[in-house]
């Protein structure tokens, strides 16, 4: 059963759990949102929290320079209070995110930011590739969706494998920290500069 990204997003917002945890819970619950929330709560992954609705407008901008000045990153990571913004664990997470951006070169924070025309263009490419590979017409849509998921995992920061622990995504790491410190945490934006890179 295909789980819609919108449903995964809704469950993530309700629970603060990682994307893959939400997807697995929805698969197990056969897309029943209420049941998926219960599954996550039983597994201790959800922090349904009083956090819902609270805004994260504190935080810090972390800078990271790599390779003797060949790559530089600025990333804004938000939390709810300046107290947490000064917390060593929060600072370490912001530093790790900046390192992630330097190493993995994402294009967007989340899939919500990916322009629709880029998604359609990618789908057209995957469809053409599948036809050229001689795949049966009836399974091409499934192949396209699978390749599109891989595209999101490559270009969206939150969906990338975390460079310090590839068993987790950046979203998983963010959710775990949020649950631990009991605050909403959000990666708001980032900028990555690479020496000699075109600005086009």
Residue 198 has a pLDDT of: 67
In this prediction, residue 44 has a pLDDT band, given cuts at 50, 70 and 90, of low
**pLDDT tens for each residue of 180-189:** 888 889 999 9
Q: What's the CATH code, domain 58-110+156-194?
A: 3.30.479.20
The answer to which of 19-23, 39-43, 133-137 has the lowest mean pLDDT is 39-43
Among residues 180, 156, 165, 194, which one has the least CA distance to residue 70? Answer: 194
Q: Where does the pLDDT of residue 13 fall: very low under 50, low under 70, confident under 90, or very high at 90 and above?
A: confident
9: which 2 tokens? 């997003």
* CATH number at 5-42: 1.10.8.10
Q: Is the pLDDT assigned to residue 93 strictly greater than 70? A: yes
What span, in angstroms and rounded, lies between the C-alpha atoms of 29 and 24? 9
pLDDT of residue 153: 94
* Domain locations in the chain as residue ranges: 5-42, 58-110+156-194, 115-154
Q: What digits encode the pLDDT tens for the residues 116-148?
A: 999 999 999 998 988 888 888 888 889 889 999
3-state secondary structure string across the chain: CCCCHHHHHHHHHHHCCCHHHHHHHHHHCCCCHHHHHHHHHHCCCCCCCCCCCCCCCEEEEEEEEECCCCEEEEEEEEECCHHHHCCHHHHHHHHHHHHHHHHHCCCECCHHHCCHHHHHHHHHHHHHHHHHCCCCHHHHHHHHHHHHHHHHHHHEHHHCEECCEEEEEHHHHHHHHHHHHCCCCEEEEEEEEECCCCCC
Verdict on whether the full-model pTM lies above 0.75:
no
Q: Residue 170: is its pLDDT beyond 90?
A: yes
**Topology of domain 115-154, CATH:** GTP Cyclohydrolase I; Chain A, domain 1 (1.10.286)
CA–CA separation, 189 and 78 (whole Å): 10
């Amino acid at each position: 059963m295909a789980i819609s990204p919108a449903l995964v997003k809704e469950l993530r917002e309700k629970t603060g759990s990682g994307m893959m945890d939400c997807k697995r819970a929805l698969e197990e619950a056969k897309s029943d949102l209420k049941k998926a929330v219960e599954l996550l709560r039983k597994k201790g992954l959800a922090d349904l929290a009083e956090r819902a609705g609270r805004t994260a407008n504190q935080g810090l901008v972390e800078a990271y320079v790599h390779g003797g000045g060949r790559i530089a990153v600025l990333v804004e990571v938000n939390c709810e209070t300046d107290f947490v913004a000064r917390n060593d664990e929060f600072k370490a997470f912001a530093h790790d995110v900046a390192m992630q951006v330097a190493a993995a070169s994402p294009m967007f924070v989340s899939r919500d930011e990916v322009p629709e025309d880029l998604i359609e263009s990618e789908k057209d490419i995957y469809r053409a590739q599948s036809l050229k590979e001689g795949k049966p017409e009836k399974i091409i849509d499934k192949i396209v969706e699978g390749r599109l998921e891989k595209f999101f995992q490559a270009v969206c920061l939150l969906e990338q494998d975390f460079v310090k622990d590839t068993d987790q995504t950046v979203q998983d790491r963010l959710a775990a920290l949020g649950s631990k410190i009991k605050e909403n945490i959000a990666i708001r934006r980032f900028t990555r500069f690479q020496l000699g890179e075109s600005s086009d």
